[in-house]
Structure 1
Amino acid sequence: MIFKHFRYFSVVLALAAAPAHAANGADDSLLAAFDAYRAGDALKFSRHAKKLDRHVLEPWLEYWRVALRLEDAQSAEVRAFLAAHADTYVAERLRGEWLKVLGKRAEWREFDRELASYASEDLEIRCYGWLSRLARDDEAALTEAQAMWLEPRDLPAGCDQLATLLWERERISTNDVWQRVRVLFENGQITAAKEALGYLAKEQAPDERALAEAARHPKRLLDRLPKNMEKRAAREVVVLAAIRYARNDPEAAAAALEAPLAARLPEADVRYLWGRVGFEAARVHHENALKWYARAGDTRLDDEQLAWKVRAALRRSSWAAVADAIDRMSPEAVREPAWTYWYGRALAAQGEETGSRAYFLRIAGQTDFYGLLANEELGYVAALPETMHVPSEEDIEKAKRNPGLTRALELIRLGIRMEGVREWLYTIRHFDDARLIAAAELARRAEVYDRAIHTADKTRRLHNFSLRYPVRFHEVFRDYARTHGLDEAWVLGLVRQESRFITDARSSAGAAGLMQLMPRTAKYVASKIGLRNYRPKDVIHVPTNVGLGTGYLKMVLDQLGHPVLASAAYNAGPSRARRWRDATPLEGAIYAETIPFGETRDYVKKVMANAVFYSALVHEKVTPIKTLLGTIPARGAGEPTEEEELP
């Protein structure tokens, strides 16, 4: 979520040496300086910054000052800043920006010096790193750099320069150009694909009008195939059109592949396209997705295609296909908890109990969705730890004196939330469990609940579940849950995911408050439940927000009949949640894993896993996640009319 200003609390944390300020005057000057930095106005920035002597955010003021003129800065000035603010987020951030400036200048000695201290990951800086090595005649960099070529997006400036060098040194071939163009078309990056084609000689390049038609009107091009497809460019444009067509209508694309495309394209291209058709079909739960995947034969599928092949197989209970698709994934993908769990389930379904237990044991004990499911496959139900680590006041005081945490909370207090979150994440990156829990408690006391939850979630051995799963406004949630006949643990699990219990949270789409209500939804529910004199500005008022949010959740649950469906509907809309059901009943975990929208898929898993722990906290009873997930009913009669459709 993207959050705006947070005014409901007033926590002022300052370094011991910092002088007292008139709060409003200092705040106004700091915010004005920040606005001037974002606007690139160095004179205005200087005018406001000079009013902030020895401010708690002095490192940020210095960063903004240097960053405003970084393109013209000298190495000595930047080195001085990095030395003065060593091991801080602002130093890491400025170092990354400085590395890009040095790369553009080709000042490789200074670049290498700073790169050795840079710990973050940035594609453009990696590209400049390879260019630096090539400047020292390190030819191995050319081989390493070739992986960059297939990034599914427009390449940044440093990588463009490197790509040109790879082409000139014949490390990128015509085949590689067309491979990149396909990857970009698969990901909807049409402009970047056109730029990649610029490497081809004029006689090898495709017709521009045909390429435009492949991108914008693929069906039209496929209905009128070029008479002459002997040249590669002509064939590739047809393949690109088929990629786009499959994305829009996989069934129609499959029919086109049957004939005449199959007769006009090389067998390898046909099988490649069947892999794309299967992938797009799986994403819309088409019943023929697995059949179309099979027609791809031994064509290499990427991890995303294989993931959707697994999901299609899960909906058909084809456990052999589940195992086969996971076997073909990269080592990194195979280690993901989702595929570890489903591989274990596939082995169990095929009678390999010992092997399945080995896979479940790899993720059992984790508190996420698949960790909980793996526990239950092994015969255990997750419960709260018998003991929780409670930080001492001394530990909390140490956290309060940490300059990075202090700056982060001050930035968040001022409404400069994104910068504050980044400072917080950088500061806690090497904390042990005890320090994490102390930092989480510090954030809780400052009412910065998203940082408290996230930080407490990171512990490995010492845990504090009251910080991981806070029960803020308990009486309000309890009363409204009872009023609407909802499970309080489920409601709290949903709110933890929606807003992290931040009362005035606002999303970029306009959702507001604890339960992230859209304006139209809030107005609709207010009218339905007879809430008189409702005004849109009231939506962040806690009782109003919770009353409207639980009222809507009850409407969705009554209409859809299942908490997993209602959770999906709360995030993506009731019509989508219904559409994602199957012709036959589905295991709840399979429904959740096969939700087409990645955000909603992750959301539903987290809401249901949250509900397990909130059940233990508020009901003082252990509820298996499989009980909560249950079975999703099949699509059937009784769908709501247009007038009954919920927003």
Structure 2
Amino acid sequence: MTFSISFAADESISTANAYSKDSSDDLWKKDEQVLAKQRAAFLRAERAVWSMDWSDLTEAVNGLGDYPLVPYLIAKKLRHRISLKDEDAIREFLKQYGSAPVARSLRRDWLRYLAKRNKRELYIEFYQPTRSAELQCEYLRYQYEDGVPKDDIFFKLPELWNIGKSQHEACDPLFGVWMKAGKLTEDLVLHRIEKAADGGQHKIIPYLRTLLPDNKRYLADRWREVRRDPANVRHLVRYPGKFPGIEAQILSYGLSRLIWRDEELALKIYSRAQQKIAFSDKQRARIIHRFAIALAIDAHPEAERWLIEASELEPESETMRWHLAYLLKKQDWQSIALLIEKSPAQLTNENQFQYWLARAYDTLGRDEQAKVLYEQLAKGRHYYGFLASAQLGIPHTLNNAPVEADNEILSKIANLPATKRAYELRQLERFYESRLEWVYAQRLLPEEEKTHAAVLSSAWGWHDQSIFTLSREGYLDDVDRRFPTAFAEMMTKEAKKNDIRPEWAFAIARRESSFMTDARSSADARGLMQILPSTARYIESRRVSDKDLYEPNTNARIGNKYLRYLMNKVDDNPLLATASYNAGWGKVKDWLPKNGVMPADVWVETIPYRETRNYVKAVLAYQQIYEDKLNHQPTDTRLFARFTEMTMQSD
């Protein structure tokens, strides 16, 4: 049974009508009515597709006409009880939809089906390059069995084998042949052991150990024990010097982890290790930079010595940033100026260092030098640019330059089959699939047209995709589309209900999710304002379902209530509340200066968590942009003027 689905532009419903300057609202409403009927028919057919025979499916497909999601219906039927008798239908479907997302799952399932039945010729025919190690290995195995030269196959295997975790079992037969041919080297085994120890699955190390000769197996033991507990580096007697380079690598890894757990023990062991172990320049640099940063964060008495040594050894931006933070905590402005002046220009030309050099000059009475740097920074639309404008007492700039859209290009993009599928999937709230289709549609565009995709998704109210597209294309000056007032009525209402500034709530949502309502973080935070289920339960005094957390109204209501909760915890200080939204108010209070006061900009720069530090800077900058947008005062400098006058201190 085969299908031929046509999406000719002159026959299909054009979503572009909604966004063209000459579009008719009445026409768009008519199209939406047609689409609504087709959606309902599609959903009915989709629910029944597994019980349909091919004649029923043909009738359903014909009834749907040009509805964009017809291929999803066909793919679902083909994937259900996949069978060799459907070979021709699958071939035709994959030929028509190629690498489109709608075809990827079908191709994957079909290839797995063919591999299970050892259909070598068909597998090779249908295979396309993929990131799936399972499918790659099956393909390479079939090529090997088909007589492709061994060296051509073996050349591709080290990259597949050398990963820090267990590889898919489909690769085992090919790896066995490769290893039997003597292609697996000791260096490759040791490299994989290192990967497994340093962030990978250390449980595979015992197996990898068996692949080493007897005299090197102790190296695998050392890697594993240091991964499990870096304090094991204290047993220097276990490093006999038989393979000094590898032993030094293990110790440098262990010491670089231990310094974050037990500073005094790490310092003591490194002092002893230097007398026994010949660390390479690279290994020594790794240790010194990690020690310098860890000691600086805790304001250790020896921090400055290590920071200076790290800078002299090999200047590096992260270590220099912590050197700066260490001096800022002491408010040693003379040393701050010297540090930045004497460091390599490729490190100090970043906005961050230029701002602090200006602040140092300002504090030291070098007013003209400070002014020159402030004025240069004030030209930019970023955290340090807004700070510099406030320091000068001049209006900041947004540099707003919207994409100049061509209606013909918009219409062309809107009429791409992948665009129509993306649009319809979004209407059905199948957000993941809709994003796959939308990204695929953009890959089909020439470079000069890709920013138009952001214009189209913005017009749909699909703000996260507009934001991501503009960022991906490096077009950062379309301020209105990059900082939309999404869900404006709802967000404003909930903010005011909780005595929260709406522009702050918008800034939080923009930073948290870019207004992606179904966003879910690795920490399990969910929805518009990225609420943890545990936070929602605490704020609401009841369990809140996952579905409700992905519902924008519920998420915004809980998110703004949580902002008010945090404000109450930190004496209505929005800067502390912003940091608390990211890191928790308990940690934030611990970061306040224990003695004396500290300027707010200095405090932000010395927040020990990089994520929270960058988060606070971003939210402040976003809040300034939203103040301009909501209050229609693009020269308003009050937010950063207040910020530059604020000081921080413990209760």
Q: TM-score, normalised by structure 1?
A: 0.66
The reply on whether 1:255 has 2:265 as its aligned counterpart is no
Q: Which amino acid aligns with 2:215?
A: E
Q: Which amino acid aligns with 1:83?
A: K
Going from structure 1 to structure 2, the CA distance change for 1:249 and 1:47 (only over 3 Å counts) comes to farther
After TM superposition, the structure 1 = structure 2 runs for residues 364-375 of structure 1, keeping only pairs within 5 Å, are: none
Q: Please, which of 287, 312, 329 is the counterpart of residue 322 of structure 2?
A: 312
Q: Please, which of 198, 203, 218 is the counterpart of residue 191 of structure 1?
A: 203
Q: Please, which of 27, 32, 39 is the counterpart of residue 43 of structure 2?
A: 27
The reply on whether 1:607 has 2:622 as its aligned counterpart is no
8 Å Cα contact 1:285/1:580 also seen in 2: no
Single out whichever of 58-67 and 372-381 deviates more from structure 2: 372-381
Going from structure 1 to structure 2, the CA distance change for 1:417 and 1:309 (only over 3 Å counts) comes to same
**In structure 2, C-alpha distance between the alignment counterparts of 1:511 and 1:490, rounded to whole Å:** 19
Aligned-pair CA distance for 1:570:
0.9
Aligned-pair CA distance for 1:628:
7.4
After TM superposition, the structure 1 = structure 2 runs for residues 150-549 of structure 1, keeping only pairs within 5 Å, are: 174=187, 177-178=189-190, 181-187=193-199, 189-191=201-203, 193-194=205-206, 196-206=208-218, 212-219=224-231, 221-226=232-237, 229-232=240-243, 241-259=254-272, 261-268=273-280, 271=284, 274-275=287-288, 277-278=290-291, 281=294, 285-287=298-300, 288=302, 291-292=305-306, 306-317=316-327, 340-342=350-352, 381-383=396-398, 385=400, 389=404, 398-429=412-443, 431=445, 439-440=453-454, 443=457, 446-455=460-469, 465-482=479-496, 484-501=498-515, 511=525, 514-522=528-536, 524-525=538-539, 536=544, 546-549=556-559
Going from structure 1 to structure 2, the CA distance change for 1:547 and 1:235 (only over 3 Å counts) comes to closer
**In structure 2, C-alpha distance between the alignment counterparts of 1:340 and 1:163, rounded to whole Å:** 51
State the match for 1:574 in structure 2.
585
Aligned-pair CA distance for 1:76:
8.8
Deviations along 1:369-404, whole A, 9 cap, x unmatched? Answer: 578779999998322637775775x76655543321
State the match for 1:620 in structure 2.
632
Q: Which amino acid aligns with 1:315?
A: A
3-state SS in 1 of match to 2:609:
coil
The reply on whether 1:596 has 2:609 as its aligned counterpart is yes
Deviations along 1:447-500, whole A, 9 cap, x unmatched? Answer: 544334434656667975444333244344445544555332222111223344
Aligned-pair CA distance for 1:424:
0.9
8 Å Cα contact 1:433/1:460 also seen in 2: no
Aligned-pair CA distance for 1:248:
3.2
Aligned-pair CA distance for 1:425:
1.4
State the match for 2:21 in structure 1.
none
Going from structure 1 to structure 2, the CA distance change for 1:296 and 1:504 (only over 3 Å counts) comes to closer
Deviations along 1:523-569, whole A, 9 cap, x unmatched? Answer: 54457xxxxxx884677776665454334323424544654432231
Q: Which amino acid aligns with 2:212?
A: L
What is the aligned length?
587
**In structure 2, C-alpha distance between the alignment counterparts of 1:322 and 1:108, rounded to whole Å:** 64
Aligned-pair CA distance for 1:343:
5.9
3-state SS in 2 of match to 1:248:
coil
Q: Which amino acid aligns with 1:571?
A: N
**In structure 2, C-alpha distance between the alignment counterparts of 1:148 and 1:357, rounded to whole Å:** 53
Q: Which amino acid aligns with 2:562?
A: Y
Unaligned runs of 5+ in 2: 1-27, 328-335
After TM superposition, the structure 1 = structure 2 runs for residues 79-158 of structure 1, keeping only pairs within 5 Å, are: 80-86=92-98, 88-90=100-102
Single out whichever of 456-465 and 128-137 deviates more from structure 2: 128-137
**In structure 2, C-alpha distance between the alignment counterparts of 1:266 and 1:380, rounded to whole Å:** 57
- Percent identity for Structure 1 against Structure 2: 21
Q: Which amino acid aligns with 1:567?
A: T
Going from structure 1 to structure 2, the CA distance change for 1:475 and 1:192 (only over 3 Å counts) comes to same
Going from structure 1 to structure 2, the CA distance change for 1:593 and 1:50 (only over 3 Å counts) comes to farther
8 Å Cα contact 2:527/2:550 also seen in 1: yes
**In structure 2, C-alpha distance between the alignment counterparts of 1:368 and 1:182, rounded to whole Å:** 40
Going from structure 1 to structure 2, the CA distance change for 1:82 and 1:210 (only over 3 Å counts) comes to same
State the match for 1:553 in structure 2.
563
Q: Which amino acid aligns with 1:231?
A: K
Q: Which amino acid aligns with 1:556?
A: L
8 Å Cα contact 1:239/1:273 also seen in 2: yes
Q: Which amino acid aligns with 1:258?
A: S
Single out whichever of 485-494 and 195-204 deviates more from structure 2: 195-204
Q: TM-score, normalised by structure 2?
A: 0.65
8 Å Cα contact 2:325/2:606 also seen in 1: no
Q: Which amino acid aligns with 1:382?
A: T
Single out whichever of 571-580 and 190-199 deviates more from structure 2: 190-199
3-state SS in 2 of match to 1:254:
helix
Aligned-pair CA distance for 1:421:
0.9
8 Å Cα contact 1:493/1:607 also seen in 2: yes
